[in-house]
Amino acid sequence: MNIRRLLLSLLLLCPLSLSAQEIALQLYSLRNEMKIDPVKYHQLIGQWGISALEGGGGYGMSDSEYQKLLNDNNLRVVGVGADYNKLKTDPASILSEAKKYGAKFATCYWIPHAEGPISLEEMKAATELFNQVGEQFAKEGVTLTYHPHGYEFVKSGSGTPMDYMLENAKHFKFNMDVFWVQMGGGDPLAIMKSHPGKFPQLHLKDRKKGTPGSPDGRGDVEANVVLGTGDIDIAGLIKEAKKQGTKYLVIEDESSRSVEQIPQSVAYIKSVLNQ
Contact 257, 227 (CB under 8 A): no
The domains of the chain, with CATH numbers, are: 20-273 (3.20.20.150)
CA 101 to chain centre: 17
Please give the Cα distance from 34 to 27 (Å, whole number).
Answer: 9
pLDDT for position 131: 98
The pLDDT of 92-121, averaged and rounded, is 97
The pLDDT of 163-189, averaged and rounded, is 98
The pLDDT of 82-101, averaged and rounded, is 98
The pLDDT of 123-129, averaged and rounded, is 98
Is pLDDT of 8 > 50?
no
Pairing verdict, β 224-225 and 206-207: antiparallel
3-state secondary structure of 163: helix
Per-residue pLDDT reduced to its tens digit, 198-210: 999 999 999 999 9
pLDDT band for 157, please (50, 70, 90 cuts).
confident
Contact 145, 173 (CB under 8 A): yes
**What b-and-e string marks burial along 66-102, b requiring 16 or more CB atoms within 10 Å of the CB?**
bbebbeebebebbbbbbbbebbeeebeebbebbeebe
The pLDDT of 79-89, averaged and rounded, is 98
The pLDDT of 236-252, averaged and rounded, is 98
Please give the Cα distance from 263 to 256 (Å, whole number).
Answer: 14
pTM given for the model: 0.92
pLDDT band for 49, please (50, 70, 90 cuts).
very high
**What b-and-e string marks burial along 122-134, b requiring 16 or more CB atoms within 10 Å of the CB?**
bbeebbebbbbbb
Please give the Cα distance from 44 to 50 (Å, whole number).
Answer: 9
Name the β-bridge partners of 184. Answer: none
pLDDT for position 13: 41
pLDDT band for 158, please (50, 70, 90 cuts).
confident
